[in-house]
Structure 1
Amino acid sequence: MNKQVLPKSSEAEIEFGEMGHSLGLLLRLSQLRVFEVFYEKLSHHGLKPGEFTVLWLISLNPDAKQGDIARRIHIKPAHMTKLVSRAVDAGLVERVIPEDDRRSVRLRLTQAGERFVTEKKREFTTYLADENIGLSDSDFSELVRLLRVFNGMEDPK
């Protein structure tokens, strides 16, 4: 029987080969690292990253259609409905059904939701600086700029 002995390190070196240049893989690994920081710094609020993002977007876009927000941040309609329902149950968001379009759902923050976003804004935006894990400030700024271009949030230079 041929046994291989692994290094005594807690993390063995794993070869990625060509997959080490896969944008999807690199983005996924990056997302997981950033989420670890999010939960370490902000888990005491009981929110997931997507939940605060939705609250933030609603605060900046009152009366936006639920479906428009979901499409823009690539959340499936069923997941967005659950996420919004949790925010409604928590008293942070209200759904508005326009008289002229009963099929659409528009979202706005309640007073409690506005207070929550206002009170937590500094803490959540300060966390954004903690997302820079191991890059120089200029490299991090360039990475963010390139991702904004990639996601259609900014025109390429």
Structure 2
Amino acid sequence: MPDPDLPALLYDKHSPPVFEELDYGILHDFIGQHLRVAYEVAYADFKLRLGDEALKPGYFTILTLIVRNPRITQTQIALASERDKSNVTNALRWMEDNALIVRHLSFNDRRTHMCTATQAGIELQARIERKAAAHVQALNDAISPLSRADFARTLKQMIAALQPQAPE
């Protein structure tokens, strides 16, 4: 039995609905959908500009933190990159396997692993950063300077409001 609240057009068995007349319902205001699409478009631009040297954005973030902060701990990387430890561990393992970083135990605390970039890691990060500058500029050009500041502030507010809080 057709739902009386839905347009009869949806029940026509012989033709699809007219695309321009699709009913998006709650999706019109679904910010998560817009964030996902924006991320995918931004990631595609990042990959296009970096070509063969494109790392996943998260890996680039982690490699940059290691290059700029020799002996940074895995816990510090997870906190600074706002990624969970298992994702950081996978990225570090991949970077170590590809000779971009070395991990070593701290002399002060044998449970703490510190990370340092190899020369190959430093050179790759520098090449990617140079190429990524055009990507950053393209993102910045897509939003006016005033809107960009408001947008960043809004995203940070959303993150703070929705991020699960650790129990006290």
TM-score for both structures, normalised by structure 1: 0.75
Q: 1:52 to 1:18 in 2, by over 3 A?
A: same
For the pair shown, the structure with the greater C-alpha radius of gyration is 2
**Percent identical:** 25
Query: Which structure has greater helix proportion?
Result: 2
Give, as a single letter, the amino acid of the residue that structure 1 aligns with 2:35. L
CA distance in 1, matches of 2:23, 2:57: 30
Aligned pairs for 1:135-154 (under 5 A) are 135-148=143-156, 150-151=158-159
Q: 1:127 aligns with which of 120, 124, 135?
A: 135
Give, as a single letter, the amino acid of the residue that structure 1 aligns with 2:113. V
Contact 1:55 1:109 in 2 (8 A): yes
CA distance in 2, matches of 1:101, 1:38: 38
Which consecutive unaligned segments of at least 5 residues does structure 2 have? 1-11, 161-168
Moved more, 127-136 or 65-74: 127-136
TM-score for both structures, normalised by structure 2: 0.71
Runs of 4+ in 1 over 6 A off after TM superposition: none
Contact 1:93 1:108 in 2 (8 A): yes
Match of 1:88 in 2: 96
CA distance in 1, matches of 2:51, 2:32: 26
Q: Deviations over 1:12-66 (max 9, x none)?
A: 6654433443443332222111111112221310411111111111122222211
Q: Displacement, 1:98? A: 0.4
Q: Displacement, 1:137? A: 4.4
Contact 2:53 2:128 in 1 (8 A): no
Match of 1:27 in 2: 35
CA distance in 2, matches of 1:134, 1:46: 22
Which consecutive unaligned segments of at least 5 residues does structure 1 have? 153-157
Q: 1:72 aligns with which of 64, 77, 80?
A: 80
Q: 2:115 aligns with which of 107, 119, 122?
A: 107
Q: How many matched pairs?
A: 149
Contact 1:20 1:26 in 2 (8 A): no
Matched, 1:4 2:12: no
